[in-house]
Chain A
Amino acid sequence: MMSALEIKELAISRGGRPLFQGLNLNLSAGQACALTGRNGSGKTSLLRAIAGLLSADTGEIGFGEQDPDQARRTEIHLVGHADGLKSGQTARDELAFWTRWSGGNLSSLDSAIDRLDIRRLLDLEVRRLSAGQKRRLALARLLAAPRTLWLLDEPLSPLDSVWRTRFGEMMSDHLGSGGMIVAAIHDPLPIPAQVLEINP
């Protein structure tokens, strides 16, 4: 299991424009980090770099003793702006596939469905769901297939106040079980977290 996230002197540029440089972050099991900053400051790019989807100009990203490639394949969940859901598929099919793809099983999915109160949505096509309902489907993947590090890009934005509170409880539980969270946010996270402000 991944024990830490260590970022040293990271620099990332996009389209020839430097976003940030000399960025450091250390996160241990049970800790969360809230990334703040203005639009375009590089919060999403940092999350994608941690996930290995974007190359850094300089610096290092480590995952404790674990091999980075292995960690990215088995220990990281990414919830980005797009939820990765196919509009023509039913919520049930999408959840089942992504749960298995992420290493979860159908019994853990069943309890995630109850916790996110999406059972009545399961037979609907994804295109029929609201933005908040789609986000809850994406968050169900986090619970159904346990992985250590959650990378969340504005996870709260489509959720109403009730679900923001409930998702806060789910994040607390994840941290309590030794997980880690890095979240790019504009609204405050409902859990204690160190704040890393990214300035261009």
Chain B
Amino acid sequence: MSLAWELLKRETALSWGRGGGPLVSAGFYLGVATLLPLAAGPEPARLAAVAPGVAWMTLALATLLGLDRLFERDYEDGALDLLTLSPLPLEFVCALKCLGQWLATGLPLALAAPITEIALGGSPTLAPLVLVSALVGGLAFAFASGIGAALSLGARRGGLLTAVIVLPLFTPPVIFGGGALDAFASGLPWSAGFVLLCAYAAAAIALGPLAMAAACRNALS
């Protein structure tokens, strides 16, 4: 476990500095949230209606920033070779890399999500669910997007390719998470959407590393 802990610390630190890390993601997040009233109009009722969905959508898009370098830099500088020659299975290494990415960028974005939702005029009673959904959904985004990052290894304009691969994988968590928030805001039962979001995150965590490791092996060979 000490080896895994060493790798997690390293990946979190590298993700923190990769492509500007959480500052760029948070800046993008706040920028989109600031632009919304300019585009949709400043009426509080209108903003409050779309605030949860916008907070959730922007979280998904902000996750894409810096994602293309998750495996690409290790692939280019030879570190991926060395990570493969270790007692830890490559699948576990991939999982730790995604977890490090989530700790460095997904976690700060999740903490910013309820603030954004309230700033746009959403109900404060919704904020706890926005936070928990963003935490769980951020994990789903991180592991689903790791698949795209691994599949685009070595490709020209890999960043664009990663986004094209990853966005369809974001569809279920966006529907489940957004649906749960919308149901809560409307006073309807919301737990089904949240449970489905948790199930998707669990599936992404369990299956994503298998796909990532296979894609990495294919790129290395």
Q: Which residues of A contact B (CB under 8 A)?
A: 48, 51-55, 72-74, 76-78, 80-89, 97-98, 100-103
A88 and B73 alpha carbons, distance in the complex (Å): 12
CB-CB under 8 A from A89, the residues of chain B are: 14
Contact B3 A80 (CB under 8 A): no
Q: How large is the interface on B (under 10, 10 to 19, 20 to 34, 35 or more residues)?
A: 20 to 34
CB-CB under 8 A from B76, the residues of chain A are: 82
A113 and B170 alpha carbons, distance in the complex (Å): 47
Identify the 6 closest CB pairs spanning chains A and B, nearest first: A82-B78, A84-B78, A84-B79, A84-B82, A54-B221, A53-B220
B10 within 8 A of partner (CB): yes
The contact sample of 16 A-B pairs, CB cut-off 8 A, is A53-B81, A54-B220, A54-B221, A55-B221, A73-B85, A78-B82, A80-B81, A82-B77, A85-B77, A86-B73, A86-B77, A86-B79, A97-B10, A100-B2, A101-B3, A101-B82
CB-CB under 8 A from A48, the residues of chain B are: 81, 220-221
- Residue on A with the closest CB to B74? A84
CB-CB under 8 A from B85, the residues of chain A are: 51-52, 72-73, 76-78, 102
B187 within 8 A of partner (CB): no
A-B contact count (CB 8 A): 64
Q: Tell me, rounded to whole Å, the shortest Cβ–Cβ distance linking B22 to chain A.
A: 16
Extra 16 A-B pairs, beta carbons < 8 Å, given A76-B85, A101-B83: A52-B85, A53-B81, A54-B221, A72-B85, A73-B85, A74-B87, A78-B81, A78-B85, A80-B78, A82-B78, A83-B78, A84-B79, A86-B73, A100-B3, A101-B82, A103-B87
Q: Which residues of B contact A (CB under 8 A)?
A: 2-3, 6-7, 10, 14, 17, 73, 76-79, 81-87, 220-221
A3 and B187 alpha carbons, distance in the complex (Å): 70
A97 and B220 alpha carbons, distance in the complex (Å): 22
Contact B221 A53 (CB under 8 A): yes
- Residue on B with the closest CB to A97? B10
CB-CB under 8 A from B86, the residues of chain A are: 73, 101-102
Q: Tell me, rounded to whole Å, the shortest Cβ–Cβ distance linking A64 to chain B.
A: 18
A98 and B3 alpha carbons, distance in the complex (Å): 10
